[in-house]
Chains A and B, each alone.
Chain A
Amino acid sequence: EAQVTQNPRYLITVTGKKLTVTCSQNMNHEYMSWYRQDPGLGLRQIYYSMNVEATDKGDVPEGYKVSRKEKRNFPLILESPSPNQTSLYFCASSLRRGWETQYFGPGTRLLVL
């Protein structure tokens, strides 16, 4: 089944404790992206990747890092999480470009205490 998977689905952590949220897609998509979704603000793009070793900042990149060493994986790294990063995070992928239909993962709900 074609899908985007994320892990973990739920995470509670404390300020300053580094964490990684994994994202993987099995559709051989070139484009991958991370979003955060907050009430009243909608989806905001954090980082995106056009292909392996090609990443770029989205609208709200501060406090986040990403890497794209393999085509299928696009992990999101929070080096020193803060409470304002408490949010619902989605990974998405599309065949080649960000303006094409993006397929979303199930989401990761993060609480930073």
Chain B
Amino acid sequence: GESVGLHLPTLSVQEGDNSIINCAYSNSASDYFIWYKQESGKGPQFIIDIRSNMDKRQGQRVTVLLNKTVKHLSLQIAATQPGDSAVYFCAENIRGSQGNLIFGKGTKLSVKP
């Protein structure tokens, strides 16, 4: 089975609030993680990545946090906007594997105006 999963399949937030999307991974050998955003009818788009030697990485309105102790990854979106409505999923690379990404199933984020 997949080693990457998400706690919540759907998340509904009010416009302007912060959103937190979670991802659990089971392989302690995973050393690279990516968050993707997939809008309806489109292909996944890269948002942000983080390596296992980091705990936090910030982008524009997004922050990824990595907790290796509990094998947990989160994506925080500040001041969520209607354009943030999409499915978000994480992907991991397991060090020493063939080097292909393993993708989680995704969380649907709905932003209420």
Q: Contacts of A42 on B, CB cut-off 8 Å? A: 2, 89, 103-106
Q: Mark B74-113, 1 if CB is under 8 A from A, else 0.
A: 0000000000000001000100011111011110000000
Number of A-B contacts (CB under 8 A): 49
Set B2, B46, B99, B103: member contacting A97, Cβ < 8 A = B99
Q: Contacts of A105 on B, CB cut-off 8 Å? A: 43
Known: A41-B105, A42-B2, A42-B89. A104 touches B45 (CB 8 A): yes
How many residues does chain B have at the interface if contact means C-beta atoms less than 8 Å apart? 22
**Closest-CB distance, B93 to chain A (whole angstroms):** 3
The reply to whether A58 and B44 form a contact with Cβ atoms under 8 Å apart is: no
Which residues does A use to contact B, with CB under 8 Å?
Answer: 4, 33, 35, 40-43, 45, 48, 56, 58, 90, 92, 97-99, 101-107
